[in-house]
Chains A and B, each alone.
Chain A
Amino acid sequence: MKNQRKKRTLFMQKICRFCSEKIQYIDFFDTKLLKPLISERGKIVPSRISGNCARHQRQMTEAIKRARSIALLPFSVEH
């Protein structure tokens, strides 16, 4: 049973969340959308983990960088 589950997660196909919601343009101030795509440390999650397509990953990266520069998202977590 356990083994089966593991196998399923291994081969689960990842879907780009922007493609599935048909988002054309990623607004940099939409922090609700961007928050899940940064790690606990504030790093951008790579597409190999998030499953985003290359085009949306590029747009998203730019959006996150803009959000950082206007203090909507952190560059790194404050300590």
Chain B
Amino acid sequence: MRNYQSVLILKPDLEEAQVDQSVEKITSILKKFGGSILKLDKWGKKRLAYRVKKNKFGYYLNIYHTCEPGKVPDLEKEYQLYELVIKYLVIRLEARDIERVMSQAAEVSESSETDGEENSKKDSTAEESD
């Protein structure tokens, strides 16, 4: 079993419920290929550096997961066929990289929650200025 990182761009005009639904779907896809989600980040709606399928914005999902080594092409095919995903990237992570990610996640959860709220506020003001 190898560790991978998938970044998916979903359509920008999705509601939270639809995002959660797509996360469930992706989990089931991963399960089909013998993998499981280690960590999931929602980066939220972001401006794309260039247009993708006529979209200027996209909803980013960052998933650290495991998968059977030979099944990645099939996984990518599933991403292609899933109509809410407009772009995807799957990269392999070495064991030490995934450890680093997981230790970082532990540190973040330990630090106080008020920090996170401040960050989200900053993000929202940044979007407005765009």
Contact = CB atoms under 8 A, between A and B. Distances in A.
Contacts of B9: 70-71
Contacts of A29: 7, 43, 62
Interface residues of B, number: 15
A74 B7 contact: no
Contact of A70 (B87, B97, B100): B87
A75 B91 CA distance: 19
Given A25-B97, A25-B100, A29-B7, A70 B89 contact: yes
Interface of B: 7, 9, 43, 48-50, 52, 58, 62, 87-89, 91, 97, 100
Instruction: Give the dominant DSSP class at A's interface.
Output: loop
A75 B50 CA distance: 8
Contact of A72 (B49, B88, B97, B100): B49
A21 interface: no
B91 A66 contact: yes
Interface of A: 24-25, 28-29, 66, 68-75, 78
A68 B58 CA distance: 14
Given A25-B97, A25-B100, A29-B62, A69 B50 contact: no
Contacts of B87: 70-71
Q: Which 5 A-B pairs have the closest CB atoms?
A: A71-B48, A74-B49, A70-B89, A71-B49, A70-B7
B7 A68 contact: no
A70 B91 CA distance: 11
7 contacts: A66-B89, A68-B49, A70-B9, A71-B49, A71-B50, A72-B49, A75-B50
